[in-house]
């Protein structure tokens, strides 16, 4: 990938200190619902104490960690590792880098039966193995943790050199909770991280958060409070399934960006701006297409020559997935 003068300088992230085959034993120290209202989804903010393990102090906001469920799967093998983004800042929840956190959504699905309405087992409920195990754990339980994972989805070394557009769907908010904490709140007074802290970040920060219903918003009151006390921070909520004046499905995060290009245009044009997108696999397709159609492709995207002559409005999902890549100014974490 070509490096341009406006590309961010990123810190050296530590990786794979504990492998899934040799995880550390950590401890759950908190677990509370972080969803705004009564909802069909269940999402918990879970704190994990890494004290005394080689993982203490190693995570940067934006990285993820592995959880290994200490059970055997249906084939008699150990469960495979599942990754979770940390929702804590780089200095941890405690300012010492000992306590990390995540935003875990219980995976609950009914196996669709449209292809076989007479299937012998009916249409059973699937409870995701790891997310439900993690959400079931009480404070004080042991947990097997690996990581850190990921090196590019992190804040730049000098955060004040840039402005930010953070785009999240659902639990994709996790890394932004940590990053926004780092930019706008800072480490607890008296902690070692506080002594080294560069102070509140004055950069422009926009969080565009997409959920199905208003009740599904995560960390909502914390984010609203921050937006009301920091004029440089704007919290945009994008609700997809609530009734609209006209018929049709509500907006996704890229529709919101597109509809408000009058507002975001200047920011997207600026050499300082970085885009971070985290959440549902596929959310990048809409974002890339919106950016390219609006004429911001050169800053944030690398387009393969095979589709360079095609107007972005005609790009197919498959072409975008295979032939468009983000530049260093556009960070992506989708799952």
Q: Please report which residue ranges of the chain form alpha helices under DSSP H.
A: 129-136, 174-184, 192-196, 220-229, 253-259, 261-269, 283-293, 297-300, 305-308, 317-323
Of 129 and 294, CB closest to ligand FAD: 129
280 is a contact residue toward ligand FAD (CB under 6 A): no
HSE, side-chain direction, 13 A CA sphere, residue 139:
6
Is residue 9 within 8 Å of 122, Cβ to Cβ?
no
* One of 88, 90, 137, 171 touching ligand FAD (CB under 6 A): 171
Nearer to ligand A2P, 216 or 220 (CB): 216
Is 29 an interacting residue with respect to ligand FAD (CB under 6 A)?
Answer: no
CB of 130 to ligand A2P, least distance (A): 16
Q: Does 85 bind ligand FAD (CB under 6 A)?
A: yes
CB 106 within 8 A of CB 132: yes
- Options 5-13, 99-107, 197-205, 256-264: segment touching ligand FAD (CB under 6 A): 99-107
269 binds ligand FAD (CB under 6 A): no
* Burial zone of 30 (CB within 10 Å; 0-12 exposed, 13-18 middle, 19+ buried): middle
**Partner whose binding site includes residue 240, from ligand FAD, ligand A2P, none (CB under 5 to 8 Å by kind):** ligand A2P
Using CA atoms of 320, 321, 327, 329 in order, give the dihedral in degrees to the nearest 10.
90
* Residues forming the site for ligand A2P (CB under 6 A): 41, 169-170, 210-212, 216, 240-241, 252-253, 280, 282-283, 286
Smallest distance from ligand A2P to CB 215, Å: 10
Would you give the binding string for ligand FAD spanning residues 102-131, x where CB under 6 A is met? xxxx-x-x-x--------------x-xxxx
Residue 211 interacts with which of ligand FAD, ligand A2P, none, CB < 5 to 8 Å by class:
ligand A2P
Residues 6+ apart with CB under 8 A from 169: 209, 210, 211, 252, 253, 278, 279, 280, 283
Kindly tell me the number of DSSP H helices and DSSP E strands found in the chain: 10, 15
Which entry of ligand A2P, ligand FAD, none binds 129, CB below 5 to 8 A by partner kind?
ligand FAD
DSSP-derived letter for residue 28 is E
Residues at the site binding ligand FAD, with contacts judged by CB under 6 A: 64, 82-85, 102-105, 107, 109, 111, 126, 128-132, 171, 174, 333, 335
């Amino acid at each position: 990938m070509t490096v341009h003068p406006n590309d961010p300088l990123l810190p050296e992230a530590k990786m794979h200190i504990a492998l899934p085959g040799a995880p550390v034993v950590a401890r759950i120290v908190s677990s509370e619902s972080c969803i705004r209202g009564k909802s069909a989804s269940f999402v918990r903010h879970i704190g994990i104490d890494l004290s005394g393990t080689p993982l203490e102090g190693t995570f940067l906001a934006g990285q993820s960690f592995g959880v290994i469920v200490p059970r055997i799967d249906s084939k008699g093998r150990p469960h495979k590792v599942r990754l979770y983004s940390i929702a804590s800042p780089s200095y941890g929840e405690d300012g010492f880098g000992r306590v990390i956190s995540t935003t875990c959504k219980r995976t609950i699905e009914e196996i669709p039966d449209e292809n076989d309405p007479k299937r012998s087992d009916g249409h059973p409920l699937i409870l995701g193995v790891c997310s439900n195990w993690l959400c079931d754990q009480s404070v004080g339980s042991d947990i097997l943790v690996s990581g850190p994972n990921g090196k590019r989805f992190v804040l730049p070394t000098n955060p004040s050199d840039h402005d930010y557009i953070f785009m999240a769907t659902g639990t994709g908010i996790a890394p932004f909770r940590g990053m926004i904490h780092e930019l706008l709140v800072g480490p607890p007074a008296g902690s070692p991280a506080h002594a080294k802290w560069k102070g509140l970040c004055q950069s422009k920060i926009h969080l565009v958060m997409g959920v199905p219903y208003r009740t599904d918003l995560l960390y909502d009151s914390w984010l609203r409070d921050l937006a009301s006390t920091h004029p440089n921070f704007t919290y945009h909520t994008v609700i997809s399934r609530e009734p609209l004046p006209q018929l049709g499905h509500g907006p996704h995060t890229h529709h919101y960006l597109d509809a408000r290009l009058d507002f975001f245009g200047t920011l997207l044009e600026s050499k300082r701006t970085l885009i971070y997108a985290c959440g549902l696999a596929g959310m990048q397709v809409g974002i890339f297409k919106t950016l390219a159609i609006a004429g911001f492709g050169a800053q944030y995207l690398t387009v393969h020559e095979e589709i360079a002559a095609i107007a972005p409005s005609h790009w197919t999902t498959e072409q975008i997935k295979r032939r468009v890549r983000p530049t260093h100014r556009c960070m992506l974490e989708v799952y």
